[in-house]
């Protein structure tokens, strides 16, 4: 399939990633319908699955591809976003992680196609899996550390032309 994207995408990267996950991800369990939080993890949702998306950085490079036939200067942009996942239970967190990775690794969804037409691609970068989160009161002087949930982060790169 030829890449036909030109110009700054009509839909911002956060909304595009959110739509990609909510429209294509299967439920990890408990009948939960995939939804992305508007901001960060929410305390009132701590007993359910949570997904949060955060912008990390963006870089735009000048591309010299016009051959001098135009005054426009083509550019290629790459944005780095972080998708954070959370669940109170380790096994349920793992189920959420697996379902998200199934969507992100499906190139029929993450290359120019329905939902990402304005973008070249979305690719997974670094992944940090299942880090347990501990209560503030836990520490070396306590016999048992109290886990408040499990979190993982997935860095994704998004590319488009300007």
SS3 93: helix
Sequence-separated (6 or more) residues with CB below 8 Å from residue 143: none
Q: How far apart are CA 119 and CA 15, in angstroms?
A: 13
- pTM equals 0.80
Classified as helix, coil or strand, 130 is strand
pLDDT tens readout for residues 27-40: 998 889 898 988 88
Q: How far apart are CA 128 and CA 87, in angstroms?
A: 15
Q: What percentage of the chain reaches a pLDDT higher than 90?
A: 26
Q: Which helix (H) or strand (E) holds 66?
A: none
Whether residue 68 has pLDDT greater than 50: yes
Task: Supply the pLDDT for residue 3.
Answer: 43
Q: What is the pLDDT of residue 89?
A: 84
The two tokens of residue 48 are 């359910």
- The Cα–Cα gap between 93 and 95 comes to 5
Q: What percent of the chain has pLDDT over 70?
A: 73
Average confidence score pLDDT of the chain: 79
pLDDT tens-place string over residues 108-155: 888 876 556 677 888 898 887 766 655 555 455 555 556 677 888 999
pLDDT of residue 95: 93
The residue that leads in pLDDT, 95 or 6, is 95
For residue 54, pLDDT over 90 is answered with yes
Spell out the residues 6+ positions from residue 71 whose beta carbon is closer than 8 angstroms to its own.
none
pLDDT at 49 over 80: yes
**Where is pLDDT greater, at 3 or 147?**
147
Is pLDDT of 1 > 50?
no
């Amino acid at each position: 399939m030829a890449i036909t994207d030109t110009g700054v995408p009509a839909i911002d990267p956060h909304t595009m990633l959110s739509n990609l996950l909510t429209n294509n991800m299967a439920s990890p369990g408990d009948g939960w319908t995939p939804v992305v939080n508007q901001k960060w993890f929410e305390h009132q949702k701590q007993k359910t699955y949570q997904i949060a998306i955060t912008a990390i950085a963006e870089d735009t490079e000048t591309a010299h591809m016009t051959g001098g036939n135009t005054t426009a200067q083509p550019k290629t942009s790459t944005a780095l976003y972080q998708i954070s996942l959370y669940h109170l239970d380790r096994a349920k967190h793992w189920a959420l992680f697996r379902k998200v990775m199934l969507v992100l690794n499906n190139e029929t969804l993450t290359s120019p196609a329905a939902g990402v037409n304005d973008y070249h691609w979305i690719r997974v970068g670094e992944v940090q899996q299942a880090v347990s989160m501990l209560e503030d009161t836990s520490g070396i002087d306590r016999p048992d550390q109290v886990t408040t949930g499990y979190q993982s982060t997935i860095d994704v790169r998004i590319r488009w032309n300007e």
